[in-house]
Structure 1
Amino acid sequence: MTTRIDGHTILIGLMAYPIRHSMSPTMHNSAFEKLDLNYAYLAFEITNDELPNAIEAIRTLDMRGSNVSMPNKQKVIPLLDKLDPAAELVGAVNTIVNDNGVLTGYTTDGTGFMKSLEDENLDIRGEKMVLTGAGGAGTAIAIQAALDGVKEISIFNQKDSLWENAQRNVAIINEKTNCKATLFDLSDQDTFKNEIADGLIYCDSTGVGMKPLEDLSLVNDPSWFRKDMIVYDTVYAPRTTKLMKVAETAGVKHVFNGLGMMLEQGAEAFKLWTGEDMPTDYIRDLLFSE
């Protein structure tokens, strides 16, 4: 990489906390090198309190943009100049593009999630999804799935700071798409179990399963799962989460971590910054092979 960096190198960032576990820098820098593009991608541990100064630094340093992850995906919105229509609908941003000092927020999580299923020849359109979480990623997944034709989404969340956002997600889906969305309290375990039993796909978009919660799962009983369903954990570090282990014990045929979603959401962001298609097959073979 040092042979590529010079006085003309363009900087792109990743702002989140924690973020040192992220594979995004390796993914993007490998793609830049493969295509001989003079960009560099660096991770910065940025909390909500540090976010305003960090966003202003994008302008000050003339960065091309940045990815944004937990806990900043929603907090960043008032700091930007414009929102892409999808990001406005979702109410969360994971990609910022700097055009001569004008910062536009985009969301690529939802399309990345749907594309990652497509990459596995799986189609959930016309089916029922059960989703835990209503943060930035969960919101993007729910709304994009609804827009793409998922028939029904059951969203489970704790009655915490994200409950109001979960209510908003359900209202938007029911008002603006042909999908039926329903919100449930995650503490209602009987309903949680029954809804999973009735769905084709269960997706956990929370941080449960990621450090420091790597020994936890929202589902611990393998009998909740069927062999013919899809279990998807958006966490990818560790590669095999506690949820995935429970699903594998149940003999579930299609069990995924968040690597495919990370790759595809990253590819869309890569295109926004560079105008080039990320060499996704190359990156998949380079980084994600067992």
Structure 2
Amino acid sequence: MALVSRFAQPISGSTSLVGVLGDPVRHSLSPVMHNAALKGLGLDWVYLALPTPAEHLGEVLRGLEAMDCRGLNVTLPHKQAVAALCRELSPLAERVGAVNTLVRLPNGGWLGDNTDVEGFLAPLRAGGSSWQGQRAVVLGCGGSARAVIAGLVELGCAAIQVAGRSSAHLEALLAPCRSWAKPLQGLQWTPSNRALQNALADADLVVNTTPVGMASATDPDAARRCPLSPGDLETLRPGSTVYDLIYTPRPTALLQNASARGCQSLDGLEMLVQQGAASLRLWSGLAEVPVTAMRQAALQQLKIEIKQGES
């Protein structure tokens, strides 16, 4: 007898599993977004958030493979560590050094791929602007920054400067990227750093890849924080674009401040939707998936969470 989930999809003994690994991951919009798409496609699959501590990542992957899991997304903090656990890597994932999508291989094991690059590029390309020869500043040097750098190279940016607070983490990011990201430079991110402020003043595009400003159930002040200081914000050039990969709250403190400066703003919700759609294409083998349904489901869930937070 089939059970009915909260996604209004029947779950039976033949239902296949897909999901997202992370720690924490219970806040993820991916389940509601993907389950809306799976319902629209009529696939007998269910997508779950699967909390996975770093020390158990390998065990979880082996267990899910044994369970015939159809595919997985990978989020923080595992995007780099999971690459070493893959049997194969796509050329893009190998170059970027970060994996956000796992696809089952016919002979066993996982193929690691990266759809974050496609997701990151989608809203920039949708705007109709040419980014060829433009200057970009990337805030942060984690796994998401690698995908952003790859996207900026694909766009043809003439200068890509990455700001990091830790010299060791910054160099660990830059070293493997220099061979394929020729315009890449590093910036030490310290308070009132004149070099960073000059870079922000010259930038056509500023991308925040840090979690600073993300809403948190355990920290009520988190959503009010901004990765840039007041002095840094004053250097943003009106007319430039500020892209925050965070999508909760909407808008983030960074995007509120950027809009007040006359900047164009983008948040990370469309990136989430587009990278998810790209992952679903890889798992299902389908050329077309219901992107509109995914976007609407994510937006609806955000509205519900905002109302819950206000009550």
Q: Work out whether the TM-score is over 0.5.
A: yes
Counterpart among 63, 69, 82 of residue 76 in structure 1: 82
Shift of the 244–279 alpha-carbon distance from structure 1 to 2, 3 Å rule, reads same
- Determine the structure 1 residue equivalent to 2:188: 185
- Determine the structure 1 residue equivalent to 2:60: 54
1:2 deviation in Å? 4.7
- Determine the structure 2 residue equivalent to 1:195: 199
Contact 1:142-1:169 at 8 Å conserved across structures = no
What whole-Å deviation, never above 9, does each CA across 1:62-103 have from its counterpart, x for those lacking one? 101211111000111221111001000000100001134221
Q: In structure 2, how many angstroms separate the alpha carbons of the residues matched to 1:107 and 1:94? A: 5
What whole-Å deviation, never above 9, does each CA across 1:114-150 have from its counterpart, x for those lacking one? 1121223343232111001221111011023213322
Aligned amino acid, residue 27 of structure 2:
H
- Determine the structure 2 residue equivalent to 1:251: 262
- Determine the structure 2 residue equivalent to 1:265: 275
1:238 deviation in Å? 1.9
- Determine the structure 2 residue equivalent to 1:234: 245
Aligned amino acid, residue 84 of structure 2:
P
Shift of the 9–123 alpha-carbon distance from structure 1 to 2, 3 Å rule, reads farther
The secondary structure found in structure 2 opposite 1:153 is strand
- Determine the structure 1 residue equivalent to 2:224: 215
Q: In structure 2, how many angstroms separate the alpha carbons of the residues matched to 1:20 and 1:161? A: 30
Contact 2:139-2:210 at 8 Å conserved across structures = yes
1:116 and 2:90 correspond: no
1:161 deviation in Å? 5.3
1:286 deviation in Å? 4.1
Note the residue ranges of structure 1 that are not aligned, 5 or more in a row: none
Counterpart among 111, 114, 121 of residue 104 in structure 1: 111
After TM superposition, the structure 1 stretch with the greater mean CA deviation from structure 2, 73-82 or 213-222, is: 213-222
Q: In structure 2, how many angstroms separate the alpha carbons of the residues matched to 1:239 and 1:54? A: 33
Contact 1:219-1:246 at 8 Å conserved across structures = no
Shift of the 121–283 alpha-carbon distance from structure 1 to 2, 3 Å rule, reads farther
Contact 1:220-1:246 at 8 Å conserved across structures = no
1:205 and 2:209 correspond: yes
Counterpart among 144, 148, 156 of residue 141 in structure 1: 148
Shift of the 2–286 alpha-carbon distance from structure 1 to 2, 3 Å rule, reads closer
Alignment coverage as a number of residue pairs: 285
Aligned amino acid, residue 191 of structure 1:
A
1:130 and 2:137 correspond: yes
Contact 2:32-2:297 at 8 Å conserved across structures = no
Q: In structure 1, how many angstroms separate the alpha carbons of the residues matched to 2:74 and 2:85? A: 12
Q: In structure 2, how many angstroms separate the alpha carbons of the residues matched to 1:17 and 1:257? A: 22
Contact 1:58-1:65 at 8 Å conserved across structures = no
Identity %: 31
Aligned amino acid, residue 98 of structure 2:
A
The secondary structure found in structure 2 opposite 1:26 is helix
Q: In structure 2, how many angstroms separate the alpha carbons of the residues matched to 1:160 and 1:216? A: 23
Contact 2:142-2:210 at 8 Å conserved across structures = yes
What is the CA RMSD across the aligned residues, in angstroms? 1.9
Aligned amino acid, residue 153 of structure 1:
I
Q: In structure 2, how many angstroms separate the alpha carbons of the residues matched to 1:169 and 1:157? A: 16
Task: Provide TM-score, normalisation by structure 2.
Answer: 0.86
Q: In structure 1, how many angstroms separate the alpha carbons of the residues matched to 2:132 and 2:90? A: 24
Aligned amino acid, residue 28 of structure 1:
H
Contact 2:202-2:237 at 8 Å conserved across structures = no
Note the residue ranges of structure 2 that are not aligned, 5 or more in a row: 1-6, 304-311
Larger Rg: 2
1:280 and 2:291 correspond: yes
Q: In structure 1, how many angstroms separate the alpha carbons of the residues matched to 2:168 and 2:43? A: 41
1:19 deviation in Å? 1.5
Contact 1:97-1:273 at 8 Å conserved across structures = yes
Aligned amino acid, residue 250 of structure 1:
R
- Determine the structure 2 residue equivalent to 1:13: 19
Shift of the 170–91 alpha-carbon distance from structure 1 to 2, 3 Å rule, reads closer
Contact 1:208-1:216 at 8 Å conserved across structures = yes
Shift of the 280–121 alpha-carbon distance from structure 1 to 2, 3 Å rule, reads farther
